[in-house]
Amino acid sequence: MNQQQPNTLPPDYFDNVYRANEDPWQFASSPYEREKYAATLAALPRPRYERAFEIGGSIGVFTAQLAPRCGYLLSVDVSEAALSQARLRCAALPQVEIKKMQVPGEFPEGQFDLILVSEVGYYLSPPDLARTADQLLAALPPGGQLLLVHWTPVVHDYPQTGDEVHDFFLAKTQPGGPLRHLFGQRHDKYRLDLLEKV
């Protein structure tokens, strides 16, 4: 019997979650998130990135923290309920653009010297993650950086685990691959890996 490939979680999954709770993952209040955001910012080696792209910006808590280090920051999410909070939170940050976008079906034009995939890769099916990876690689110039941050415990709703997402991208850092691994950290419940386009 064939095991069915898990599907990417649809936008209405997230709309329902945000309708039930404005901050369902406690992005604004949890010590776990605060520590993870600090570690994420500390992992970025450059003081400034001219063009940055954040996939799955949610309610904009980390977006607002990353913005001071960006000339331009595009933050996207699939949930309008989350985006309306993000727009309010980032209203005083002119370098931030908040858009509704579902990667990989939609993807911005242009190149980015930083792309952040944080707590979002495991919502994608393996084929959609592979498509997304191709788009990310095309959008990174040589020396452009990709920062991955994901919760590692298994969540039964999610098509993949955080470890599977990171291992998929780390396979692209083998000799001759398109990426090199600059930095990795494993914490109690999440892992963080910084990659750079060769």
Q: Parse the chain into domains and list their residue ranges.
A: 11-197
Taking the model in full, what pTM does it have? 0.93
Is the pLDDT at 23 greater than 90? The verdict is no
Alpha helices in 5-122 (DSSP H): 11-20, 31-43, 61-66, 80-89
Number of H helices, E strands in the chain: 6, 7
Residues 110-155: pLDDT tens digits? Answer: 999 999 999 999 999 999 999 999 999 999 999 999 999 999 999 9
Residues 6 or more apart in contact with residue 123 via CB below 8 angstroms: 8, 9, 56, 158, 159
Is the pLDDT at 1 greater than 60? The verdict is no
Please tell me the total number of residues recorded for the chain in this structure. 198
CATH of domain 11-197: 3.40.50.150
Residues 46-62: pLDDT tens digits? Answer: 999 999 999 999 999 99
